[in-house]
Amino acid sequence: MAEPSVPWQLDFTARTLDGTPLAGASLYGKPAVLWFWAPQQPEAGQQAALLQAAAARNSDIAFVGIARTRPRPVTEFDGQHQMAFTQIVDPDAAIAMRFGITTRPAYVFITAHGQVTTAKKPLSQHDLRTHLERLAND
């Protein structure tokens, strides 16, 4: 049986807020949550708090925030909300387009085997928990 390959959507490289390169392909092989967001959105603070709590409870899942803006607004938001999970910027929406994301907030859930599902809306705590349980049980 052939070894599954990395989903084409993960063929990107971006920089984290501290300048460290992040290869999308490095997310393959473990469950991951990508949060597409923008700091100016009214629900950003509430969604950040949900994800922060979820990331703290689910250390076996990679969480990555992908903001459609420049680094400075994300750094300022991060300073206010103290997000402990990885943040990158996608000012031209190049990464978002790979996943068909055109609105924010939106979420991409990637199983350890590379299966990709999306949620193109703000998530409640219940909805997020349901998605995370599916990732954990894959």
Summarised one tens digit per residue, pLDDT across range 24-64 is 999 999 999 999 999 999 999 999 999 999 999 999 999 99
DSSP 16: B
Which tokens go with 64?
């990555």
Residue 80, Cβ density class (10 Å: 0-12 exposed, 13-18 middle, ≥19 buried): exposed
CA separation for the pair 16, 20 (Å, rounded): 5
What global pTM score does this model have? 0.93
| Residues 134/58, Cβ–Cβ less than 8 Å | no
Q: What domains does the chain contain, in order, with CATH numbers?
A: 14-136 (3.40.30.10)
Instruction: For the chain, 138 residues long, give each residue's pLDDT as a single digit of tens.
Output: 445 688 999 999 999 998 999 999 999 999 999 999 999 999 999 999 999 999 999 999 999 999 998 889 999 999 899 888 999 999 999 999 999 999 999 999 999 999 999 999 999 999 999 999 999 888
